[in-house]
Amino acid sequence: MAGPTGHGQSLGAALNDLLHSQVTPRHRLSSYNAQHWHAQLSHLTVTHRGYQALQDAGLHVATKTLVSWLSDPEYNVRSSYRDIIHTAYENAAVVPAGPVPDYVRRGQFEITGIVKTGDDERERGTRRAAPLRIDGSRGTWDEIEELWLAGELTDDAFEDHFIDDIIVADIGEGTDGWEFPGASYSVEVR
């Protein structure tokens, strides 16, 4: 039975495609586009998430003060409070990424595309050569997950860490390291 699959123009792009199809990435909510402090505050005060963001950003005012601010967009709010409101708004706009699922961390990966180690370069996942099979459970996913959660897991970074932290941990350095110089890859996890 086929498992989740990612496709891309590089190994890192295919890995990122696979991960994006399985877990919510860090992203910004498109509905958070207000510029004025009053509109931002109004938006924040309609949800528990917004109130929590205000508290986390350090806004501690009496309910009466908050009602006064909300009832008059021209209210003279100190710049330090406007900065707190803006920070809360920006923080509430970002949805954190979900963690890398355990079935991915422990998965058996099948990589299709050009794989090179030393002088050995071949197309894997064809009739003549099986896909490159990697046991993800033998590797260390910490740096990959840290970048993923921060929203900074680029295709290049994913490929580099996957080679260093997952492939090498499972099957070793190869003859002269591992390279994936092709222009099309698919990665399936089982």
pLDDT digits (tens, 9 = 90+) for 64-99: 999 999 999 999 999 999 999 999 999 999 999 999
In the chain, what are the helix, strand and coil shares in percent, each to the nearest 5?
A: 45, 15, 35
**Residue 185 shares a structural domain with residue 126:** yes
Residues 6+ apart with CB under 8 A from 82: 37
pLDDT tens per residue across span 3-39: 899 999 999 999 999 999 999 999 999 999 999 999 9
**Residue 104 shares a structural domain with residue 15:** yes
Is the pLDDT assigned to residue 1 strictly greater than 70?
no
**Residue 184 shares a structural domain with residue 126:** yes
**Residue 83 shares a structural domain with residue 114:** no
Q: What does the pLDDT read at residue 176?
A: 86
**Residue 57 shares a structural domain with residue 34:** yes
**Residue 62 shares a structural domain with residue 153:** no
- Residues of the chain with pLDDT > 90, as a percent, come to 96
- For the entire predicted model, the pTM comes to 0.83
Q: Give the end of a domain, one of 50, 70, 95.
A: 95
Contact 132, 110 (CB under 8 A): yes
Going from the C-alpha of 110 to that of each of 5, 35, 95, 167, 173, the distances in angstroms are: 9, 47, 31, 11, 18
**Residue 74 shares a structural domain with residue 138:** no
Q: Give the end of a domain, one of 95, 121, 145.
A: 95
**Residue 21 shares a structural domain with residue 34:** no
**Residue 102 shares a structural domain with residue 173:** yes
Shortest CA distance to 131 belongs to which of 169, 173, 90, 182?
182
- How does residue 168 score in pLDDT terms, banded at 50, 70 and 90? very high
Shortest CA distance to 8 belongs to which of 186, 157, 175, 189?
186
pLDDT tens per residue across span 31-55: 999 999 999 999 999 999 999 999 9
What is the residue range of 167's domain? 5-26+98-189
- How does residue 2 score in pLDDT terms, banded at 50, 70 and 90? confident
86: its two tokens: 């803006």
**Residue 87 shares a structural domain with residue 103:** no
Is the pLDDT assigned to residue 175 strictly greater than 90?
no
The single residue listed with the structure tokens 């970074």 is 157
**Residue 128 shares a structural domain with residue 148:** yes
**Residue 122 shares a structural domain with residue 161:** yes
Look at the chain and report how many structural domains it folds into: 2
